[in-house]
Amino acid sequence: MNFQRHRRLRKSASMRSLVRETHLQVSDFIYPLFFVEGENVKKEVPSMPGVYHLSLDLLEKEVKEIESLGIQSIIVFGVPNEKDDCGSSAYDHNGIVQRAISQIKEIAPSLTVIADTCLCQFTDHGHCGVIENGEVLNDETLSLLAKTAVSQAKAGADVIAPSNMMDGFVAAIRQGLDEAGYYDVPIMSYAVKYASSFYGPFRDAAHSTPQFGDRKTYQMDPANRLEALREAESDIAEGADFLMVKPALSYLDILRELKDRYPLPLVAYNVSGEYSMIKAAAINGWVDEKSIVLEKLISMKRAGADLIITYFAKDAARWLNEK
């Protein structure tokens, strides 16, 4: 009989390791952190077991743990006490994100600190821009995003990661950073961000649920593939240094398309809903958390991601370090 013996390359663990095509490393991970005002606050996000709101006085212990696990990059989110209609605390030089970044860089200067750059966590209406007559105004929002990015760079952010999906946001932020002298601060654009139902737990964590309507006029329709390419091309033309696809797991095809077409480092955001579903199933004993998480993360690498933002970063780092 004439047929292929594919099992030859799967007959032992060492053989499988020898021919493995895709590898997951701790340095692939970017760990999200949520900082809040107050003291001695470590409060678990109800819909995200294992994810916490932290006050800045507890920051050092958390950062040291992250470093000890070998994680090299974090992304910082802030939840302010005070919000207004234009998100002014987002670009306050003494804002929660700016203070967190400054402290982290003092404690761990070698850690790459990425600042999420958006307004939704800082506006009282929960949208990512300025509102007029119920509409999110695109161009009026850009200057505020640039101010936010400059304040984050001034605080010490190594990378600016705009997530708002306004048209022209990369160009506006690049111009703002350059005019302020931050030529060397790269932009990790949330280039392809879908209006996804997988964001629910994050909005619980960031207190950023829209108070009216939804985000479908600025985030993308999940049905669209070609639009993702147009979004990515625009961001590259405007000066993006990284491209991101968010969410990751339901959009692996988009990750692969961007990887095949564009030479920029590609980031997958393994979002809150993807995290919480597995956590809930694991807590109930329905799935083996370690094996399913590692399988999920390797699928993102196989699809083309160079880096993965994931709430599982610390768990996955421990599992990989066990080997």
pLDDT of 119: 83
| Residues in the chain where the model's pLDDT stays below 50 | none
- CA-CA distances (angstroms) from residue 97 to 14, 92, 153, 206? 46, 9, 11, 12
Which positions are annotated as active-site residues? 193, 246
pLDDT of 137: 86
26 φ/ψ angles, rounded to the nearest 5 degrees = -60, -35
Q: Count Cα atoms within 13 angstroms, Cβ side, for 154.
A: 15
- CA-CA distances (angstroms) from residue 112 to 104, 177, 262, 275? 10, 18, 23, 23
Query: 36: which residues sit within 8 A by CB, 6+ positions away?
Result: 43, 53, 54, 55, 78, 79, 96
pLDDT of 206: 65
Q: Are 164 and 119 in contact (CB under 8 A)?
A: yes
Q: What is the pTM of this model?
A: 0.95
The encoded tokens of residue 251 equal 């959009």
Taking the C-alpha atoms of residue 171 and residue 321, their distance in angstroms, rounded to an integer, is 40
Q: Three-class SS of residue 134?
A: coil
Q: Three-class SS of residue 185?
A: coil
Total count of residues recorded for the chain:
323
Quick one: DSSP state of residue 76?
A: E
> Which amino acid is it at 246?
K
Beta strands in the chain (DSSP E): 29-36, 42-44, 52-55, 73-79, 112-117, 130-132, 135-137, 159-162, 188-193, 242-246, 266-270, 307-310
Indicate the burial class of 309 (C-beta count within 10 angstroms; 0-12, 13-18, 19 or more): buried
The encoded tokens of residue 111 equal 């850690």
